[in-house]
Each structure stands twice: as structure tokens, then as C-alpha cells.
């Protein structure tokens, strides 16, 4: 009998007492259980630690570690916590001979459908070139209506992703950067791997993407990130216009303020030349993507 492909997970957690029980329930009830689930408690000051201790006591495959926490931060600190968590999960698996072919990152505000990992691992097994994949996210709006977040089908989502182990190793693990999930996608592409987002594999977010610190700050960080990754100014203007016509409309102002803050205060650009070049020409890559979708020449 052929053994099922194994996987391990990492989840960063910062003051998630409301979300953790639902996430844990959805992971515990997966049709394929992870061989290891490492949860990084990022110095939570609510009841998260108590919930995590209870989970670790009940399930031998759940481990909890603490990081040197600071205030909630969706930029470099988050990337550092995730990077160290994923590396530690790999090290524990190696030391304890825990088998895995796939490694996942699931944020603490997610609720996964029961067959999430069964479905996504099946996609990997059918496509040996697939390096990074995610499901799609949805959230409940103020009218309690489920809204699916849009996005291109070749851009895996940050906190709902799985890597082929070989791809994860080849690309150097999780990068410490603004928009580290996006940089991870680019590194996979540059190493010859495919990246996919599957709309029929769903994760429900308990809050809208970018709203953990408030939408204003979330979109301001997006602007800073786009400066740091060296997006072409024309593409930045396009994104500003797009966000300005998206509710709430103030997110466009937040985004452009963040980009200007990058020019005035951050000044530093990502120091991986091939990644920076990729982002600088991203507007061309997007054009080619949609030209291919609609069978146009570009």
C-alpha cells in the first residue's frame, strides 16, 4: 500500500484568541492530518497562549514555540517570524525523522474546508512542476455575505500556501522582505517552478486581507512594499487608481502615501537583483498574462 504524501505546517500567531479555536478545529478535522503543525506564538498578550498550551497537550503532532514578539507588524517582523517558524519546522522534522513532501503556511485567521490539504496535495501530485500553490480566500462582509477575494490564478495567496519541499529548499525558504509571499512566488518562478491559486479550494478569513491593523495601515504598507520591490511608477499609478475606485475608497490614498513614504523615508530597495528586475517589469508580465488569457498577442 502506497503511503499518503506527508506535509508539515507553520502558523504565526499574534493575539488570535478569537480565531485560533476555529482554525485548530479545521486543521484537526482535515481528511489528511499534518505530520507536524508548528505554531509560533508571537508574544501574544491575550488568551492565545492558554489555547495553544491546551492544543499542544491534546495532540502530539502540534508544537508551540515562542518568538521575540514586538507590536503587530505585517512587514519585516511578520516575515521573520514565518521564516524562522518554517525553518524550525523543517529542522524538527529532520531531527525526529518526520516525513514530509510538502510544507505549508497557514495564518491564524483562516478556517479551512475539511479536504483543503487533500485537494491541494492532489494538485501537486498531478503536476511535478508545481512549486507553490494556494487555495482562494473569502470573508464575510458587514452584511454577513461571503465575499471571495479576486486574484490571478498564478499568484498563490500568502497565508494559505503550500510549497513542494524541493521548491522550498531551492528558493532558500521564506524570504525576509516586504510582501515576502510575493517575493517567494517570484523566486519559485525564477527557479523554473509553476505557481498556482486554485479557486475551488477555499479558506475563510475571519477578517479581510490587510485589515489586522486596519485597512489604512494595511494599504499604506502595500505602498511601501511596492516601493521596496521597485515597481514601475506607471504600474504604481495604475494601482492607485484601481484602489481609489475600490470600497472603501480611502485605501487608494493610503496606498500612495505608503509609496511616497518609501521614497522619502525607506529609500532602500530589495537586494536580490533578479527579483527586483522582475518587479520592475511586472506591468509587462501582467500584460502577457492577460494577453494569453484572451488569446491576444503582446
Residues, the chain: 298
What was the pLDDT predicted at 270? 94
- Is residue 77 predicted with pLDDT exceeding 70? yes
Least confident window among 83-97, 164-178, 197-211: 197-211
Which pLDDT score, from 0 to 100, does residue 206 have? 87
**Secondary structure (H, E, C), the chain:** CCCCCCEEEEEEECCCCCCHHHHHHHHHCCCCCCCEEEEEECCCCCCHHHHHHHHHHHCCCEEEEECCCCCCCCCHHHHHHHHHHHHHHHHHHHHCCCCCCEEEEECCCEEECCCHHHHHHHHHHHCCCEEEEEEEEEEECCCCCEEECCCCCCCCCCCEEEEEHHHHHHCCCCCCCCCHHHHHHHHHHHCCCEEEEEEEEEEEECCCCCCCCCHHHHHHHHHHHHHHCCCCHHHHHHHHHHHHCCCCCHHHHHHHHHHHHHHHHHCCCCCCHHHHHHHHCHHHHHHHHHHHHCCCCC
Task: Tell which of 205, 232, 247 closes a domain.
Answer: 205
Do 136 and 170 fall into the same domain? yes
Domain count, the chain: 2
Residue 55 lies in a domain: yes
pLDDT tens for 134-184 read: 999 998 877 778 888 888 899 999 999 999 999 999 999 999 999 999 999
With 0.85 as the threshold, say if the pTM is over it: yes
Please indicate, yes or no, if residue 37 is contained in any of the structural domains. Answer: yes
Higher-confidence residue of 188 and 289: namely 188
pLDDT in tens, 223-282: 999 999 999 999 999 999 999 999 898 999 999 999 999 999 888 899 999 999 999 987
pLDDT reported for residue 292: 62
| Structural domain that includes position 13 | 7-205
Claim to verify: residue 69 and residue 183 sit in the same structural domain: yes
pLDDT surpasses 90 at 94? yes
Dump pLDDT digits (tens) for 277-297.
999 987 666 656 555 665 555
pLDDT band at 10 (very low <50, low <70, confident <90, very high): very high
Amino acid at each position: 500500500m502506497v503511503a499518503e504524501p506527508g506535509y508539515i505546517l507553520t502558523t504565526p500567531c499574534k493575539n488570535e484568541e478569537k480565531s485560533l479555536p476555529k482554525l485548530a478545529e479545521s486543521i484537526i478535522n482535515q481528511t489528511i492530518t499534518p505530520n507536524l503543525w508548528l505554531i509560533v506564538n508571537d508574544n501574544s498578550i491575550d488568551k492565545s497562549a492558554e489555547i495553544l498550551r491546551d492544543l499542544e497537550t491534546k495532540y502530539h503532532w502540534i508544537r508551540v514555540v515562542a518568538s521575540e514578539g514586538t507590536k503587530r507588524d505585517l512587514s519585516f517582523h511578520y516575515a521573520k517570524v514565518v521564516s524562522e517558524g518554517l525553518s524550525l519546522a523543517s529542522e524538527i522534522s529532520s531531527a525526529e525523522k518526520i516525513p514530509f513532501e510538502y510544507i505549508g503556511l497557514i495564518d491564524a485567521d483562516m478556517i479551512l474546508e475539511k479536504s483543503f490539504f487533500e485537494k491541494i496535495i492532489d494538485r501537486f501530485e498531478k503536476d511535478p512542476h508545481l512549486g507553490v500553490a494556494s487555495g482562494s480566500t473569502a470573508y464575510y462582509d458587514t452584511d454577513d455575505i461571503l465575499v471571495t477575494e479576486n486574484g490571478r490564478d498564478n499568484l498563490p495567496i500568502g497565508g494559505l500556501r503550500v510549497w513542494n519541499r524541493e521548491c522550498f529548499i531551492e528558493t532558500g525558504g521564506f524570504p525576509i522582505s516586504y510582501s515576502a509571499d510575493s517575493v517567494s512566488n517570484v523566486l519559485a518562478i525564477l527557479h523554473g517552478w509553476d505557481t498556482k491559486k486554485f479557486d475551488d479550494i477555499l479558506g475563510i478569513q475571519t477578517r479581510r486581507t490587510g485589515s489586522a491593523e486596519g485597512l489604512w495601515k494595511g494599504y499604506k504598507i502595500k505602498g511601501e512594499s511596492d516601493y521596496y520591490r521597485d515597481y514601475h511608477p506607471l504600474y504604481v499609478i495604475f494601482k492607485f487608481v484601481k484602489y481609489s475606485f475600490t470600497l472603501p475608497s480611502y485605501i487608494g490614498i493610503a496606498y500612495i502615501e505608503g509609496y511616497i513614504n518609501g521614497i522619502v523615508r525607506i529609500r532602500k530597495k530589495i537586494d536580490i537583483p533578479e527579483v527586483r528586475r522582475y518587479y520592475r517589469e511586472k506591468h509587462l508580465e501582467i500584460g502577457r498574462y492577460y494577453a494569453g488569457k484572451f488569446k491576444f498577442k503582446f
